[in-house]
């Protein structure tokens, strides 16, 4: 059966922000679902695609080194996603199975049997949880959740025992709300301060359990932290001036998880850190963390056994900003870079 | 017996660099060594005084908070030093004993029996080591040595087992040479890259055992690290652009000891950190460290038992830049801030 097959192609490197109409291009082709050769791979129907801030680092001139592989010009974009098996050459999968993997931004495509791409980890079969959309696998149970879970579990478990106050920046995104909710579940005594850039995001952070939630565009971060600190833990999703404000409001011996630096993706003057010296003056520890590349989120030890019960109990919840249709994918990529989305940015390619 | 008693008074807060003639003032008074009241304290003859970069943080307007107490305007300056007991009300000390403590910048003064000042930890009696001047107690066996020892022992011991390459900035100072020599003693396989700001300092770092020693004013730090890296460990004495160069040349999972940020003492534009994002991209860990305030260097567990044998064996050596006479004290304070000294800055108040 021949069907239309839309795709989103990467067509130009952004200098600073992403302009969907300049840097991405939606194209339509057709695909023969019954006869397209699989070569040991699996034909997938794409359901959900993730848009994540780190993608900005992939959208670059490939001559520039970075911690993630570049997206190739004039190829379809790819990222974490959820799909359904249409046909399979791989005995581990049968038609109808739901899978999680590193998917092309196409309605249909063949997930290769042999993996060359650094991110093309083997597909993982996933289970549908009752009353939770499968898109949870690109958010709470996907890369953002794994990121938050692993760093909290490895680096913060001990500190939870004595910490009084924690600050989370980028607190309304999928990593931020996971951090707030998981920390509350592990350390109910903890006072959590959380920042983001809109009134809607403030509501999300309050809903997630932050005692002090504020809009950094309207309130001065330094003053809020001075009033509600000092900090024992800072989960840093943004770096730049927010980090500077946190550094000056830490208790001695505090802990920073450096998990993102969106303000630094383009290294302009607004993104510099001026108070690094507080790290030695206050004897702080900083753990930089990026979720392991080249492995499935599902490979994090104990991730599903620890987190799925919290999801089922409603203690860790997903909040999504849905972009319907591949034509909206470029907008989804741009929004997570500027913060225009509210909740986990999910591109809905086909409904469940 | 009445004798002349010179002192160095702190008379003005520096804006940026220290000008000895503007910010300090040498005065002479007299003191009656036989009759000055001790009130439970100890009359000391000052022998050696230390000049350390952190003193720049003490030389500030006291309304500004900082991690160390301010020096009080129109009072004598004080810092780590070595003296000899002249008279004592304290049964732990007798005339002729050598002691280490937080000493006034005066030829003679009474070390109080009751300690109020945050830094006026109780005096420690010290032993003269053969062929080593007592000034070793303000350098290798004093605060700089304790700083290097504690951070290396607590944070780097494990990493020494697998690390291939280490970078030390400020490598010719008393902390830097201790770091190089102690690391070589603990991990002989380690390749050490070290930077400082003059040809004489390069010789010191080579003498201490650095395989790659360079003058950052003449060679580009980034290029040297790119050629001889990637780094597993970076001992950071300076922060700023040197830290930025290191951050971009790290192996994933590396370790940074943030032990000073002289470039940031005045927070101008030359001192900012632009590549903090490498901390998360490369999964680096940063341990900020400042030696415990309010306790003697001698209080570091195992410090003397671990380090004295290395000093006796000539594996950890002192290199001093001596300033003779209290009139030179202001110059000694200024020089360690600009890097004009070569070796540990020691003010010689009276000879052994």
Per CB-CB distance under 8 Å, the chain B contacts of A239 are 276-277
Q: Best mutation site among A252, A276, A283 for testing chain B: the one with the most B CBs within 10 Å?
A: A276
CB contact under 8 A, A267 and B258: no
- Asked if the model's pLDDT at residue A266 lies above 70, the reply is no
Tell me how far apart the alpha carbons of residues A241 and A263 are, in angstroms, rounded to a whole number: 9
Give start-end residues of each CATH 3.90.180.10 domain in chain B: 2-131+319-348
Q: With respect to CATH, is domain B2-131+319-348 assigned 3.90.180.10?
A: yes
Q: Report the residue of chain A nearest B277, measured CA to CA.
A: A261
pLDDT for res B297: 43
Residue B293 pLDDT more than 60? no
CATH 3.40.50.720 boundaries in chain A: 143-288
Strand partners, A125: A99
C-beta separation of B23 from B13 below 8 A: yes
Cα distance between residue B131 and residue B312, in whole Å: 9
> Residue B264 above 90 pLDDT?
no
- Kindly state the average pLDDT of the residues A144-173: 93
For residue B276, list chain A residues with Cβ-Cβ distance below 8 A.
239, 243, 258, 261, 264, 273, 276
Contact assignment for A285 to B285 by CB distance below 8 Å: yes
Tell me the chain B residues in contact with residue A66 when contact means C-beta distances shorter than 8 Å: 281
Contact A277 B239 (CB under 8 A): yes
3-state secondary structure B175-193: HHHHHHHHHHHHCCCCEEE
Average pLDDT over residues A116-137: 80
pLDDT of residue B243 exceeding 90: yes
First and final C-alpha spacing in chain A: 21
Tens digit of each residue's pLDDT (9 = 90 or more) over B167-209: 999 999 999 999 999 999 999 999 999 999 999 999 999 999 9
Contact A298, A308 (CB under 8 A): no
Answer whether residue B301 shows pLDDT above 80: no
Position A84 scores a pLDDT of 97
Which CATH topology does A2-135+319-348 take? Quinone Oxidoreductase; Chain A, domain 1 (3.90.180)
Q: What does the block give as tokens for A218?
A: 């309207």
Min Cα separation A288/chain B (Å): 4
What is the percentage of chain A residues whose pLDDT exceeds 70? 92
Inspect the interface and report whether the beta carbons of A287 and B285 lie closer than 8 Å: yes
Q: Are B86 and B1 in contact (CB under 8 A)?
A: no
Nearest Cα of chain B lies from the Cα of A240 at a distance, in angstroms, of 9
pLDDT greater than 60 at residue A132: yes
**Inter-residue contact B198 to B206 (CB < 8 Å):** no
Size of the A and B interface in Cβ pairs below 8 Å:
95
User: For chain A, what is the mean pLDDT?
Assistant: 90
Indicate the residue of A67, A272, A282 with minimum beta-carbon distance to B273: A272
Q: Is B131 left (phi over 0), alpha (psi -120 to 50) or beta?
A: left
**What element of type H or E holds B212?**
strand B212-215
What confidence tier does B2 reach under pLDDT thresholds 50, 70, 90? very high
Residue of A nearest to B263 (CA): A277
Residue with tokens 């070595």: B82
Q: What's the mean pLDDT when you consider all of chain B?
A: 90
* pLDDT tens string B92-140: 999 999 999 989 999 999 998 766 555 556 788 999 988 889 999 999 9
pLDDT tens digits, one per residue of A10-61: 999 998 889 999 999 999 999 999 999 998 899 999 999 999 988 988 999 9
SS (HEC) of chain A: CEEEEEEEEECCCCCCCCCHHHHEEEEEEEEECCCCCCCCCEEEEEEEEECCCCHHHHCCCCCCCCCCCCCCCCCECEEEEEEEEEEECCCCCCCCCEEEEEEECECEEEECCCCCCCCCCCCEECCCCCCCCHHHHHCCCCHHHHHHHHHHHHHHHHHHCCCCEEEEECCCCHHHHHHHHHHHHHCCCCEEEEEECCHHHHHHHHHHCCCEEEECCCCCHHHHHHHHCCEEEEEECCCHHHHHHHHCCEEEEEEEEECCCHHHCCCCHHHCECCCCHHHHCCCEEEECCCCCCCCHHHCCCHHHHHHHHHHCCCCCCCEEEEECHHHHHHHHHHHHHCCCCCEEEEECCCC
> Residues of A with CB below 8 A from B243's CB?
276
Overall average pLDDT of the B242-267 stretch = 82
Q: At residue B294, does pLDDT exceed 50?
A: no
Chain B residues closer than 8 Å to A243 by CB: 276
CA distance A218 to chain B (A): 25
Q: Comparing C-alpha atoms, which of A2, A82, A9, A11 is closest to residue A45?
A: A82
Residue A135 has pLDDT above 70, yes or no: yes
The C-alpha of B277 sits at a distance from chain A's nearest C-alpha, in angstroms, of: 5
Nearest C-alpha neighbor of A230 from the set A214, A208, A245: A245
Superfamily of domain covering B143-288? NAD(P)-binding Rossmann-like Domain (3.40.50.720)
- Arithmetic mean of pLDDT, B328-343: 92
- The contact set of B with A (CB < 8 A) is 66-67, 239, 243, 258-261, 264-265, 267, 271-290
- The predicted pLDDT at position A116 comes to 52
Residue from the list A265, A286, A290 with its beta carbon closest to the beta carbon of B286:
A286
**Interatomic CA distance for residues A192 and B76, integer angstroms:** 45
Dump pLDDT digits (tens) for A194-213: 999 999 999 999 999 999 99
Angle at B270 between CA B79 and CA B151, to 5 degrees: 45
Alpha carbon of A254: minimum distance to chain B alpha carbons (Å)? 10
Q: CATH 3.90.180.10 in chain A: give the residue spans.
A: 2-135+319-348
CB A127 within 8 A of CB A153: no
Percent of chain A residues past pLDDT 90, beyond the cut: 68
Q: Is the pLDDT reported for residue B338 higher than 90? A: no
Residue A268 confidence (pLDDT) above 70:
no
Q: Most confidently modeled of A31-40, A146-155, A254-263?
A: A31-40
**pLDDT reported for residue B112:** 85
Distance CA A76, CA B19 (A): 63
**Residue holding tokens 């109409």?**
A21
pLDDT at site A260: 72
Neighbours of B313 (CB within 10 A): 9
| Residue B75, SS3 per DSSP | coil
> In the prediction, which pLDDT does B351 show?
85
ipTM above 0.95, yes or no: no
């Amino acid at each position: 059966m021949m069907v239309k097959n839309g795709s989103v192609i990467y067509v130009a490197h952004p200098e600073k922000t992403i302009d969907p109409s300049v840097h991405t291009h939606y194209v339509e082709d057709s695909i023969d679902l019954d006869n397209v050769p699989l070569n040991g791979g699996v034909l997938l129907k794409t359901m959900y695609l993730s848009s994540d801030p780190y993608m900005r680092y992939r959208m670059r001139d490939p001559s520039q080194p970075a911690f993630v592989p570049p997206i190739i010009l004039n190829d379809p974009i790819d990222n974490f996603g959820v799909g359904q098996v249409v046909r399979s050459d791989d005995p581990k999968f049968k038609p109808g199975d739901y899978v999680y993997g590193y998917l092309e931004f196409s309605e249909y495509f063949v997930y290769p049997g042999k993996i060359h791409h650094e991110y093309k980890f083997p597909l993982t079969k996933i289970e549908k949880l009752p009353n939770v959309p499968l898109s949870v696998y690109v958010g709470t149970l996907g890369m953002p959740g794994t990121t938050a879970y692993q760093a909290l579990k490895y680096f913060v478990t001990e500190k939870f025992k004595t910490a009084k106050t924690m600050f989370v920046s980028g607190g309304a995104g999928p990593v931020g709300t996971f951090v707030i909710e998981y920390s509350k579940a592990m350390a109910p005594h903890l006072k959590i301060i959380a920042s983001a850039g809109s009134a809607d995001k403030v509501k999300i952070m309050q809903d997630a359990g932050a005692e002090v939630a504020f809009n950094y565009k309207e309130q001065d971060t330094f003053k809020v932290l001075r009033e509600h600190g000092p900090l024992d833990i800072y989960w840093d999703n943004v770096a730049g001036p927010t980090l500077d404000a946190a550094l000056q409001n830490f208790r001695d011996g505090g802990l920073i998880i450096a998990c993102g630096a969106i303000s630094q993706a383009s290294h302009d003057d607004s993104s510099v850190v001026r108070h690094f010296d507080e790290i030695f003056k206050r004897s702080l520890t900083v753990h930089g963390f990026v979720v392991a590349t080249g492995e499935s989120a599902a490979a994090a030890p104990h991730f599903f056994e620890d987190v799925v019960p919290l999801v089922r109990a409603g203690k860790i919840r997903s909040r999504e900003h849905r972009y319907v249709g591949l034509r909206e994918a470029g907008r989804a990529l741009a929004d997570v870079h500027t913060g225009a989305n509210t909740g986990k940015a999910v591109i809905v390619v086909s409904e469940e």
